[in-house]
Amino acid sequence: MLRKITIALASAGLLAGLTACGSSDASEDKNAPLKVAVNPVPHGDVLTYVKDSLAAKAGLKLDIVTFDDYVQPNNALKEKQVTANYFQHVPFMQEFEKKAGTKLAFVAPVHLEPLGIYSKKVKDIKALAQGATVAVPNDPANQGRSLKLLADNGVLTLKPGAPTSATEKDIAANPKGLKFKALKAAQLPRSLDDVDAAVINGNYALEANLAPNKDALVAEKPEGNPYANGIVTLPENKDDPRVKKLVQLLQGPEVKKFVEDKYKGSVLIATA
């Protein structure tokens, strides 16, 4: 709790500082540090490694702004309080664009956090009881992603042509009569004591000391996966040389080795 309060105060201080300077546009000065909004794990860890070990040699100055949810990083970008963010995949970004009535630009993929199904009640996905309750993320993109993961593992069947933002209405067959509990993604690890299983986003699983490649009953496969997290900015900043330099570093061999060494298969480098 203290960590979250500290993060919130730090973020609030940043926003106040931007307002006090008379402008909230973080992208005006191309010689200024590049402000990037992130979730703490693994995005913040990866970007901190880049800042501490690679950025200075590449001539890049970075300011890292950390948020604990999936809402504030895009709001900060939309309001030009940061120039880029690093926390989301394309389907999530597209849902935000529709809801917010704005356009963002997905510049490049960096890594994949495999979505996993976790349980304290069963050790095999097929052992879920009739009428079991499964917690899923409440944002459309990741909820649809969760249903697809359940379908890919034979727990239910989706209707042909179900969208990436599939809901319960897109379920064609639910032979176990599963009940779904939609929660904010950050709350999913804490729900494990109260539900039969939970579909948890990789970053929040890692924060809860759950390893997708070891602790999940089943997890997403990287092949053909559209959910790689990457660098997102506003369309007018996609060619900002600072953004391009950051992407070059994030897709370089040093970051690849850092991710492989630190996360040992729980976070996977995306194919550019």
For residue 22, pLDDT over 50 is answered with no
Q: How many CB atoms lie within 10 A of CB 30?
A: 12
Q: Any idea which architecture 116-219 has in CATH?
A: 3-Layer(aba) Sandwich (3.40)
- Token readout for 17 is 């500082």
Please give the helix or strand (H or E) that residue 80 lies within, else none. none
Query: What is the per-residue pLDDT for 27?
Result: 58
35-68 pLDDT per residue, tens: 999 999 999 999 999 999 999 999 999 999 999 9
Q: How many CB atoms lie within 10 A of CB 131?
A: 10
Instruction: Spell out the residues 6+ positions from residue 44 whose beta carbon is closer than 8 angstroms to its own.
Output: 38, 64, 66
Domain with CATH 3.40.190.10 in the chain: 2-114+226-269, 116-219
**If you count DSSP H runs as helices and E runs as strands, how many of each does the chain have, helices first?**
9, 13
The C-alpha atoms of residue 114 and residue 159 are separated, in whole angstroms, by: 23
What one-character DSSP code corresponds to residue 252? S
Q: How confident is the model at residue 1 (pLDDT cuts 50, 70, 90)?
A: very low
Identify the burial level of 222 via C-beta atoms within 10 angstroms of its C-beta, where 0-12 means exposed, 13-18 middle and 19 or more buried: middle
**pTM for the structure as a whole:** 0.84
Please give the helix or strand (H or E) that residue 70 lies within, else none. none
For residues 251-267, give the mean pLDDT. Answer: 96
Looking at domain 2-114+226-269, what is its CATH homologous superfamily? Periplasmic binding protein-like II (3.40.190.10)
Instruction: Tell how strand 133-137 and strand 197-200 pair up.
Output: parallel
64-81 pLDDT per residue, tens: 999 999 999 999 999 999
What crossing angle do the helices spanning 253-263 and 241-250 adopt, rounded to 10°?
50
Least confident of 13-22, 23-32, 92-101: 13-22
- Residue among 197, 47, 76, 228 nearest 125 (CA): 197
- Residue among 266, 238, 202 nearest 40 (CA): 202
